[in-house]
């Protein structure tokens, strides 16, 4: 009965969001805090306490041990060590055991994370944790209509997440609340925080001085189960900022520039730490933008030092008591003088030009003045068909206000957008505030559509109708990622990422080659004019309007809450344990597919329409490798069944192998698994019978996800060995009983003519991770430990 009442309560509250009836939400602003008073980590977590005293004590131990200046990243990370006195600490080598302060999960990944937590048998999460409903809302018409439709379509999933949250002590942010990263910034992030989140853009919280790291769901389960979280000790890349931002140059241009320098894999295994006098010219939300998109360079996370801009944001979001504590602990929240970086990048903000990156990859950087010539040379469409602003990367009050300042200039000359123009508010608080202050109406008058407070087109949740699939076209967005087909499932769409200001300007001009600093427009009166520099207040002068109350706090007593998953459900499926390793070598494995070129998690497990199956492993496995390019024929989703000689889709072939007991592996290229944190890209191959993924190099999160699910992630000791393997070869991995840290795996390649050759494969396993492989998965191993095995 409790589950039924919760479902009814959820339904009533979701409906009230759609109606747009603003309910006053009273946030408590703490008075001056005395030493005897405790400050909670969030007003939504009243039983918690800010951890600064404990972190300072841990940091003192580490500083004494290392006897050298520490970077900010090191201070935050090492102060969260489970054993600061005994932990081995070597950048790029040691595996750190850490105690994060909290866990955040978006609804698409939370389904599998909560299903795994349920299967662990534990009664309640051990750290503050939240679920955020932001991924399942498709952009079709406008915010209210799209939200209403999503609630109806996803009722089963939302009810599961709501009741699972209530049962296991997890806070639940309902559909319409906003995007996970903006909600975290507004309510939970603080300087010195260590948080893990089941989304690759979790680093957004670095804009408020925290180390916020994207992980797979299995990592989240570890932390929620009170198991120390393991992370290979990151290197630290320093980015020194001098000068100051001005004119059309925005915080987004900093990360667009950095992406061009470091590329999509240049940050792998490292934290990117910004410092220098230029930092103070960037707003707190601007710093969050930079950290958010740091995921696109493969960085573990990104972070900024605590400063007055962060303090202003904390105060504006009713957290003055936390700001005061941060002031008192500022020495822990900034780098030591002379702290060493593994690599240093310097950027003079006074000289930095506005940038636009793409298409098809977020590290192809162009100064805005040059992109037009490059587009014509490459044959990219110069006409812009759609402009999209907002998303988790760029939807702050400042972002929206600067775009509105451009729009007002245009409309004063009688002009509106020449393209489709969509606006995605990052949160209900942002939506309510820009509605109250007239910004939303200004953007609508320009021809814009305000979408729901959700991820929407950024993750492919866009029912785009203005172009046909396969039609070559260009779109510009203020998003963070622009892989092939990501936004609209059209592989011919050339997507460029840039600042929201440039998106607005290019939507006004209708052209990719428009540089608002030098180019002019023609008003309705036939006269030429030039846009002035955009400007807006960093924070709303009248304060934030919280809008609708969309948060469900877990009850103190959840003993009567039930969480049911129907065996007939097509959206949710309880998990069965993966099989244990049988103790034998993996002999004569068939190669399911040899992937050619870029293979992101989008290629391995597509999003968009497949998001609805994120809680049902068997159903979502039907999207495995749909858009990966087969090196054998240069085609997508067309491979040969080596047992029958028939050609067919990748998932169907994998299922046929599994049914026949044929073990298989995948061969891949560089930076395999870059992009989203989605662990489905590891779960699906494991579920369909995969045993090993052998590539030139891995993206961090995906490599860990593969280990967690019992697959062997291996890299060529010599990357040129990729070319020695043909799609018809058989692969044998030898002496797996002797698998140990730092010891290469011997691999025998058997060619169709019967000849063989031997190569060696590297791995990054430590002793504990090897136990995951032997147990069949990290979750299996957790249960073994609990049973005393």
The residues annotated with a catalytic role in the active site are 134-135, 199, 481, 676, 678
Q: What is the largest CA-CA distance in the chain?
A: 81
Quickly tell me which residue has 């690759």 as its tokens.
200
Q: Across the chain, how many H-helices and E-strands are there?
A: 24, 30
C-alpha to C-alpha distance for 653 and 732, rounded to whole angstroms: 20
- Residue 492 has a CB neighbour count (10 Å cut-off) of 15
Cβ-count burial of 164 within 10 angstroms (0-12 exposed, 13-18 middle, 19+ buried)? buried
Count of all residues that appear for the chain in the document: 789
Token pair belonging to 439: 């910004």
Give DSSP secondary structure letters for 714-738: EEESSGGGGGG--TT-EEEEE-GGG
β-pair type (639-640, 647-648): antiparallel
Quickly tell me which residue has 């009248």 as its tokens.
542
Nearest CA to 330 among 194, 192, 236?
192
C-alpha to C-alpha distance for 466 and 449, rounded to whole angstroms: 14
Q: What angle do CA 592, 596, 600 make, to 5 degrees?
A: 90
Q: Which ranges in 263-378 belong to alpha helices (H)?
A: 284-293, 308-316, 320-328, 371-378
CA distances from 621 to 85, 652, 695 (A): 44, 10, 21
Q: 647 - beta bridge partners?
A: 640
36-50 as b/e: b if 16+ CB within 10 A: eeebbbbbbbeebeb
Element at 445 (helix H, strand E): helix 439-445
Q: Which ranges in 494-616 belong to alpha helices (H)?
A: 500-509, 601-604
């Amino acid at each position: 009965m409790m589950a039924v009442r919760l479902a009814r309560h959820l339904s009533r509250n979701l409906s009230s969001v759609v109606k747009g009836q603003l309910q006053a939400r009273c946030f408590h602003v703490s008075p001056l805090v005395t030493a005897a008073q405790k400050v909670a980590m969030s007003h939504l977590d009243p039983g918690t306490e800010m951890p600064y005293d404990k972190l300072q004590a841990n940091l003192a131990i580490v500083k004494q041990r290392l006897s050298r200046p520490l970077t900010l990243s090191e201070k935050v990370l090492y102060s969260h060590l489970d054993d600061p006195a005994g932990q081995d600490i070597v950048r790029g080598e040691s595996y750190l055991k850490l105690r994060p302060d909290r866990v955040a999960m978006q609804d698409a990944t939370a389904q599998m994370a909560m299903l795994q937590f349920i299967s662990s048998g534990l009664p309640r999460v051990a750290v503050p944790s939240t679920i955020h409903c932001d991924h399942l809302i498709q952009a079709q018409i406008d915010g209210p209509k799209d939200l209403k439709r999503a609630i109806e379509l996803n009722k089963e999933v939302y009810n599961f997440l709501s009741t699972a949250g209530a049962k296991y002590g997890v806070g639940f942010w309902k559909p319409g609340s906003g995007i996970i990263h903006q909600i975290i910034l507004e309510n939970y992030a603080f300087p010195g925080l260590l948080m893990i989140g089941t989304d690759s853009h979790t680093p957004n919280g670095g804009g408020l001085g925290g180390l916020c790291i994207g992980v797979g769901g299995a990592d989240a389960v570890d932390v929620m189960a009170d198991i120390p979280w393991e992370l290979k000790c990151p290197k630290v890349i320093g980015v020194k900022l001098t000068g100051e931002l001005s004119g059309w140059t925005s915080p987004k241009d900093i990360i667009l520039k950095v992406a061009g320098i470091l590329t999509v894999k240049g940050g792998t295994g490292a934290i990117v730490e910004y410092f220098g006098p230029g930092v103070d010219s960037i707003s707190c939300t601007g710093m969050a933008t930079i950290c958010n998109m740091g995921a696109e360079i493969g960085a573990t996370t990104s972070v900024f030092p605590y400063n007055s801009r962060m303090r202003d944001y904390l105060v504006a979001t009713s957290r003055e008591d936390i700001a005061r504590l941060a002031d008192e602990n500022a020495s822990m929240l900034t780098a030591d003088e002379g702290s060493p970086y593994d690599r240093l990048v310097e950027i003079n903000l006074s000289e930095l030009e506005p940038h636009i990156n793409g298409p098809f990859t977020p590290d192809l950087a162009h100064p805005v003045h040059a992109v037009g010539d490059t587009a014509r040379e490459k044959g990219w469409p110069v006409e812009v068909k759609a402009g999209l602003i907002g998303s988790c990367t760029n939807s702050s009050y400042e972002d929206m206000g600067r775009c509105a300042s451009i729009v007002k200039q245009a409309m004063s000359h009688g002009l509106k957008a020449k393209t489709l123009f969509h606006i995605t508010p990052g949160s209900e608080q942002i939506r309510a505030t820009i509605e109250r202050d007239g910004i939303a109406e200004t953007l609508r008058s320009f021809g814009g559509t305000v979408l729901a407070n959700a991820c929407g087109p950024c993750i492919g949740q866009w029912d785009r109708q203005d172009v046909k699939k396969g039609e070559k076209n260009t779109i510009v967005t203020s998003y963070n990622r622009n892989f092939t087909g990501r936004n609209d499932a059209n592989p011919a769409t050339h997507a460029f990422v840039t600042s929201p200001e440039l998106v607005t300007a290019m939507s006004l001009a209708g052209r990719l080659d428009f540089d608002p600093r030098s180019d002019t427009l023609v008003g309705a009166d036939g006269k030429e004019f030039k846009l002035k520099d955009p400007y807006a207040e960093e924070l709303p002068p009248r304060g934030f309007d919280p809008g609708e109350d969309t948060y469900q706090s877990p009850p103190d007593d959840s003993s009567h809450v039930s969480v049911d998953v129907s065996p007939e459900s097509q959206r949710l499926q309880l998990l069965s344990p993966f099989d244990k390793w049988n103790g034998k070598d993996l002999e004569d494995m068939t190669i399911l597919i040899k992937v050619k070129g870029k293979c992101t998690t989008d290629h391995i497990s597509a999003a968009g329409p497949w998001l609805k199956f994120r809680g049902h492993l068997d159903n979502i496995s039907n999207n495995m490798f749909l858009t990966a390019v087969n090196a054998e024929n240069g085609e997508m989703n067309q491979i040969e069944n080596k047992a029958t000689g028939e050609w067919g889709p990748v998932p169907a072939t994998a299922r046929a192998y599994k049914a026949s007991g044929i073990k298989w592996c995948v061969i891949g290229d560089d930076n395999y698994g870059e992009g989203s944190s989605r662990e489905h890209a590891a779960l699906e191959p494991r579920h369909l019978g995969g045993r090993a993924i052998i590539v030139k190099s891995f993206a961090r999160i995906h490599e860990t996800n593969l280990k967690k699910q019992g697959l062997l992630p291996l890299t060529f000791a010599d990357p040129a060995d990729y070319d020695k393997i043909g799609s018809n070869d058989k692969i044998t991995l030898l002496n797996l009983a002797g698998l140990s840290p730092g010891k290469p795996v011997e691999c025998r390649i058997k060619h169709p003519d019967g000849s063989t050759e031997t190569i060696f494969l590297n791995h990054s396993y430590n002793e504990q991770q090897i136990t995951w492989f032997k147990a069949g998965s990290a979750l299996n191993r957790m249960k073994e430990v609990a049973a005393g095995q």
